[in-house]
Amino acid sequence: MSLGELLAATVPMVKTLNLEYLETTPERAVLRLPDQPEYHNHVGGPHAGAMFTLAESASGAIVLAAFGDQLSRAVPLPVTADIAFKKIARGVVTATATLGRPVADVVAELDKGERPEFPVAVSIRREDGAVTGEVNVVWTLRPND
């Protein structure tokens, strides 16, 4: 079972929005939100909540791909998130997440007994390539007590 299939099976909101996992690696996660009229806003594009969920899900996918081997000793949790809307989104939108710190540096902090934090940047694009939104999520690995 792929990471995308696992997340789709265990995170109900992923199924609700029919998010599609196109790529999930420690370097990059790419998810797609299909065009679904039931999730449109007042201008006919995906609702802000759907776009945020898409981006947050992409950030979570890269975190699990990068730090899945640490789950026996720490739980990944989002700390903060912000979203900036750049252009009107219409049709299918895709979110691409990238990790903002080297995995080894984050794990080294965890090894020292610290609670590391690290940013994940997410770009949301229309099918024509235009950036419609940017989301920044700061994650932590909270050590298990």
Amino acid 5: pLDDT: 83
**Residue-level pLDDT at 12:** 85
- Tell me what the pLDDT averaged over the chain comes to: 95
CB count within 10 Å of CB 2 equals 9
Q: What are phi and psi of 102, to 5 degrees?
A: -65, 140
Does domain 3-143 sit in CATH 3.10.129.10?
Answer: yes
Whether 14 contacts 74, CB under 8 Å: no
Distance CA 119, CA 79 (A): 10
State the first-to-last Cα distance of the chain, in angstroms, to the nearest integer: 29
So what's the pLDDT on residue 65? Answer: 96
How is the chain split into domains, by residue range? 3-143
Residue 97 CB neighbours (<10 A): 28
**pLDDT band with cut points at 50, 70 and 90 for residue 34:** very high
Tens of pLDDT, residues 66-111: 999 999 999 999 999 999 999 999 999 999 999 999 999 999 999 9
